[in-house]
Structure 1
Amino acid sequence: MPPASAWSGLARSDGVRAAFGSACGLLVHATFAAVGLSALVMSSARALTVVKLLGGSYLIWLGVTTWRSARRGAKPTTRGRWRLPWTQLGGFGQGLWSNVLNPKAASVYLTLVPQFLTSSRPIAPQIVTLAVAHIAVVLVWSLFWTTVAAAARTAIDTPRFRRGMSRLAGGVLVVLGVRTATAS
């Protein structure tokens, strides 16, 4: 087993990749909003239901996988039969798809962003400017907490703590997945 400092470096690099994946997910939503696809999805009950079900299913899958890893007392793995196509992308893919499949992230660009747009100027550049600001805030916030979590990990890295946190995180993800899939 690698020393604690090696685990801390792995955790930090996974967190950095996930933060940038999440930022790219926001870029996808901003692009969809700029070309009008987000409005189309949000106005179609069927399309919105599909996005909610995909997002909820993904969260449930993450929760079950995390919960199952608690039995082994190990970090969640991307090997085995519960494998999604983007798992080989690691933290980046997890961050990207968690954000792309999140209907609430899309709704930000449909409900909040329009309040800051001026109809007398081209819309797409305004959305890009707001998206860059949004991505910058998300990256700073995510990278800050990645650093805090990596530092804390060296202090609390025990098999018992990992099992408990995996069970808690898995349970929360399943609850969030069910809530996302059933939200009206």
Structure 2
Amino acid sequence: MAVLPLIATPGASLTLLIQHVTEGGRRQALPVVLGTVTGLYVHAGLAVAGLSALVMHSSQAFTAVKLVGAAYLIGLGIWTWRSAAPKAAPSHRPSLRRANSVYVQALLANVLNPKAAAIYLTLVPQFIAPRQSFGGQILTLATAHALLIAAWLAVWTVLIRRASRTLRTPRFKQISARVTSAVLIALGVRSAVT
């Protein structure tokens, strides 16, 4: 329950989900969800290994990760803006290459987000029992987090698909891509300055 408000706060994963489901249909939700969930497990693994704690306690390392993540989000936003030009109607059968690209975008958006790492360093330790397996507990909590975010993104996928008639118009897709771009750039700038 403690992670629900963090999941419900719109961020890069939801922004990518809206963009890709709008452009390519509901099948594009899967690589976004898988990339996001993989990113959570990366953070959990780094927390177990103690690397996240090192980054969070070293101001230079934290700043470097934060700036790389901010640059990635801004770059992704600029790329999305530039690709928002009107195009012919896309096929609703995504290629393997496209799915891999979406997966990598979602993975990097999560892994390069220092606030996602902070969850495993600030929130998770409050739920760890000292006399039990540290790694097992973090894995259990990461799995609960992954299931919740997957369910949240699935609900959004259904909502987006229900509005599919409107979402399929080229004009809406262009507006959606531009809004997505602006959100990604804003998230990147916010990450860089906070």
The one-letter code matched in structure 2 to 1:35 is A
Contact 2:62 2:114 in 1 (8 A): yes
The match for 2:56 is 42
Check conservation: 1:52, 1:181, Cα contact below 8 A.
yes
Q: Among 86, 93, 111, which residue is 1:73 paired with?
A: 86
Residues 44 and 142, structure 2, Cα contact 8 Å, conserved in 1 = yes
Distance 2:170 2:99 in 1: 25
Q: CA offset at residue 99 of structure 1?
A: 0.5
Q: Give the structure 1 partner of residue 26 of structure 2.
A: 12
Q: Aligned runs of 1:3-152 on 2, under 5 Å?
A: 10-70=24-84, 72-74=85-87, 89-152=100-163
- Indicate conservation of the 8 Å contact 2:78/2:181, yes or no: yes
C-alpha contact 1:29 1:38 (8 A) present in aligned 2: yes
Q: Percent identity, please.
A: 44
What does residue 173 of structure 1 align with?
184
C-alpha displacement at 1:11, in angstroms? 2.1
- Across the aligned residues of Structure 1 and Structure 2, the Cα RMSD in angstroms comes to 2.3
Structure (1 or 2) with the larger CA radius of gyration = 1
1:158 aligned partner:
169
Q: Secondary structure at the residue paired with 1:112?
A: helix
Question: Over residues 96-155 of structure 1, what are the superposed CA-to-partner deviations in whole Å (9 max), with x where a residue is unaligned?
Answer: 111001111000000000000111222111111111111110111112212321332333
| Structure 1 residue ranges without an equivalent (≥5) | 1-6, 76-85
Name the amino acid aligned to 2:158. Answer: T
Match of 2:14 in 1: none
How far, CA to CA, are the matches of 2:23 and 2:114 in structure 1?
32
User: In the alignment, residue 177 of structure 1 is paired with which amino acid?
Assistant: G
Q: TM-score, normalised by structure 1?
A: 0.83
1:8 is displaced (CA, Å) by 7.2
TM-score relative to the length of structure 2: 0.79
Contact (CA 8 Å) 2:76, 2:181: kept in 1 or not? yes
User: What is the CA–CA distance in structure 2 between the aligned matches of 1:16 and 1:163, rounded to whole Å?
Assistant: 22
2:10 maps to: none
Q: Quote the Cα distance in structure 1 between the aligned partners of 2:139 and 2:170.
A: 44
CA contact 2:42–2:111 (8 Å) conserved in 1 = yes
Question: 5+ residue gaps in structure 2?
Answer: 1-20, 89-96
